[in-house]
A = this chain, B = another copy of it.
């Protein structure tokens, strides 16, 4: 009998704990697995042997259900980037030697990493290094990201809940902004650095304009679009991705000097909405306001999608089965077999084809003008936001599972 270990990494979502629960639920049923460890703060905690015993923490059905409805990563996260597994620099080799020494000392046979693009790159490296040294540890990645931008899977766990938050909040903002007769533009800034999936979800509530990073953004056309609508009605609501760029590929937010770079070399954006707000005030002269969903869009478990939470548990269990059946170096995926009626199964993809690829919204899901999405796109997103996963409330507030 071997032990198992699970880690969570990358940005939090409302569904990543549901996937953790799914993995543990499945492993707990298996006679191949003894103790189930959680690594605290991902691979960084793993290197420091910071583990918890999930077999003891998740005991009753109530523990599992509460975990499934708790937002963010219960095990903590990290943004540590492992060195290339092919590197022969002594400090890089030492990183891997130390990691595998720890895993072997804890008698780990099954290693799961739940995360996005960068996390899938981490587990790909571990699996590849494991192959090189002949390790028998099974490495399986399980996707999560609100961005929905991972390759080889129809969609990602966590996207549906963030999409539901975005669409419901835009519906409420439309009610709010409709009350005054004064001309006003509300710009809603939505996460999504390189892919517009989450911004596209705003379209479920029919805002006036929707701009994704997949189509070059023209300030002149934007002002034309606004003027045309303001001629008909006083209140305009615009959903815009934080990552929109001009035709030269320059982020619209870069007109402000507030761009920083994280340890993966990603640009840290903020301010796309504020830049547009200033442009509207200058060029149109009407009232303009920015609403940034900020981290709320990834942690609002109180309005999580029931479809997303159920699928997130399911893909966690499926990932566990992959490892138990001897698979390694792969990621669990969703394959949609039909949209109407919605039907979706779990399969696997090689990590080599997943890591470091960004899956964008296809051009045919965006209208010709590039200022809204098509009804086909809305129909594609719809099944992922269905149903309400209401958390347990105590004294008026949601109750959370804290490790």
Contacts and interface: CB of A to CB of B under 8 A. Distances in A.
A393 B168 CA distance: 10
B180 A76 contact: yes
B303 A171 contact: no
A259 interface: no
A291 B302 contact: no
A311 interface: no
A1 interface: no
Main secondary structure on chain A at its contact with chain B?
Answer: mixed
Contacts of A175: 12, 70-72, 299, 400, 402
Interface stretch (A19-27, A313-321, A346-354, A380-388): A380-388
B176 A71 contact: yes
A73 interface: yes
Given A171-B400, A395-B382, A181 B294 contact: no
Contacts of A299: 172-173, 175-176
Nearest to A179: B77
A178 interface: yes
A295 B173 contact: yes
A160 to B, nearest CB: 9
Contacts of A290: 294
B385 A173 contact: no
Given A172-B72, A291-B295, A296-B173, A41 B181 contact: yes
A172 B382 contact: no
B179 A76 contact: yes
What copy number does this chain have within its complex? 2
B168 A397 contact: yes
Given A76-B180, A181-B78, A295-B176, A300 B169 contact: yes
Interface in A287-316: 289-292, 294-296, 298-303, 305, 307
A402 B205 CA distance: 14
Contact of A179 (B73, B178, B398): B73
A385 B180 CA distance: 28
Contacts of A385: 396-397
Interface string A46-79: 0000000000000000000000001111001111
Contacts of A292: 291-292, 294
Contacts of A186: 295
A257 B249 CA distance: 31
Interface in A128-176: 164, 167-169, 171-173, 175-176
Contacts of A12: 175-176, 179
Contacts of A296: 169, 172-173, 291, 296
Nearest to A164: B396
Contacts of A397: 164, 167-168, 171, 204-205, 385
A44 interface: yes
A112 B367 CA distance: 46
A365 B345 CA distance: 54
26 contacts: A8-B179, A12-B175, A12-B179, A44-B181, A71-B172, A71-B175, A73-B179, A76-B179, A164-B396, A168-B302, A169-B300, A171-B397, A172-B299, A172-B300, A173-B299, A175-B402, A204-B395, A204-B397, A291-B292, A292-B294, A302-B302, A303-B303, A307-B396, A385-B397, A386-B396, A390-B390
Given A12-B179, A169-B300, A172-B300, 13 more contacts: A41-B179, A72-B175, A73-B179, A167-B397, A172-B302, A172-B398, A173-B296, A177-B295, A289-B294, A291-B292, A291-B296, A307-B396, A387-B396
Which 9 pairs show the lowest CB-CB distances between chains A and B?
A72-B175, A385-B396, A176-B299, A77-B179, A172-B299, A386-B396, A72-B176, A291-B294, A73-B179
